[in-house]
């Protein structure tokens, strides 16, 4: 190839590259595609928010209008606005924070102890068949004994102080976590176990690499159930004997006929339960991020 031909080809390539760099046409379609996609994502987000809040909005609207229209006696079911005012007043004078702090301290302590005890015990029972055969009769007896039925026993043995309340929460939360953990270990896919054994992995490694990861979703199901139980059982225990706590607030408001304060306490209990459940859901997603999502 001659020098003249090479120069001509180089010049043509430079001119073509400059033309391509100067031509802004390909950028326009990209911008045009980005805006509709952003609008679609925003629309889906707004639709999701509306879908998740419309039922609560309807409930609040019915609650507000039914007493005012005389459909229910507003003495026993005041409008939601009055309950909201009572809730705000309890918050401002510190009573709501004091009672919520007392309840959260008890429930979280009992719940944390239940997780620390029930998860390792459930893994052992589910993994070692002889231990399961030994403890199954005892588990069947206690799993069918309601925690609230044993509340007088806890009060008689441990008194009406903090120990009895934490202990009843511990007892009530243990069974959902323990039974779900046992079920999680026993329901691991046998194909995974056969593959692990075919690789000549020792039993501890199979437990670490196969059993534990596969059991996490079902274990968290039990933990979430225990989270709801912790709040409910504690509230019932605080109604029996306590000087502080949301259950005490609800019970004392009923006796004093402070009905708006009673409903304010109930709403607070519900809000704490929802927030606690959402926290556990976030933790579950964090620990099960390896799972393939299902559904739309």
pLDDT in tens, 223-251: 988 988 888 888 888 887 778 888 888 98
Task: Write the DSSP symbol of residue 1.
Answer: -
Tokens (6 digits) for 97 = 């924070």
Q: Indicate if the alpha-carbon torsion angle 181, 187, 190, 195 is positive or negative.
A: negative
Instruction: Compute the distance between CA of residue 267 and CA of residue 260 in angstroms, rounded to an integer.
Output: 11
Count CB atoms within 10 A of the CB of residue 229: 23
Instruction: Compute the distance between CA of residue 197 and CA of residue 206 in angstroms, rounded to an integer.
Output: 8
Tens digits of residue pLDDT in 111-142:
999 999 999 998 888 888 888 778 888 888 88
Instruction: Compute the distance between CA of residue 231 and CA of residue 253 in angstroms, rounded to an integer.
Output: 19
Question: What's the predicted TM-score (pTM) here?
Answer: 0.75
Tens digits of residue pLDDT in 183-222:
888 887 777 777 777 777 777 777 777 778 888 888 888 8
Count CB atoms within 10 A of the CB of residue 34: 10
């Amino acid at each position: 190839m001659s020098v003249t031909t090479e120069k001509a080809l180089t010049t043509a390539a430079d001119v073509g590259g400059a033309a391509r760099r100067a031509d802004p046409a390909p950028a326009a379609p990209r911008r045009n595609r980005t805006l509709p996609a952003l609008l679609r994502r925003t629309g889906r987000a707004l639709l999701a928010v509306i879908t998740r809040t419309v039922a609560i909005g309807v409930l609040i609207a019915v609650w507000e209008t039914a007493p005012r229209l005389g459909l229910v006696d507003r003495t026993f079911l005041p409008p939601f606005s009055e309950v909201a005012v009572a809730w705000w007043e309890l918050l401002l004078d510190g009573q709501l924070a004091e009672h919520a702090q007392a309840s959260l301290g008890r429930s979280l302590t009992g719940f944390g102890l239940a997780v620390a005890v029930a998860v390792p015990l459930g893994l052992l029972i589910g993994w070692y068949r002889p231990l399961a055969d030994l403890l199954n009769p005892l588990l069947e007896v206690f799993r069918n004994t309601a925690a609230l039925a044993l509340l007088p026993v806890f009060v008689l043995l441990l008194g009406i102080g903090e120990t009895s309340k934490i202990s009843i929460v511990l007892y009530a939360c243990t069974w959902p976590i323990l039974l779900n953990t046992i079920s999680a270990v026993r329901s691991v896919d046998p194909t995974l176990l056969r593959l692990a054994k075919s690789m000549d992995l020792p039993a501890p490694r199979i437990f670490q690499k196969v059993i534990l990861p596969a059991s996490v979703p079902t274990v968290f199901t039990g933990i979430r159930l225990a989270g709801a139980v912790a709040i409910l059982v504690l509230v019932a225990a605080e109604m029996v004997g306590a000087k502080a706590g949301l259950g005490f607030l609800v019970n004392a408001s009923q006796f004093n006929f402070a009905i708006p304060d009673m409903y304010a306490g109930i709403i607070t209990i519900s809000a704490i339960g929802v927030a606690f459940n959402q926290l556990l859901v976030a933790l579950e997603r964090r620990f099960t991020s390896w799972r393939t999502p299902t559904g739309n």
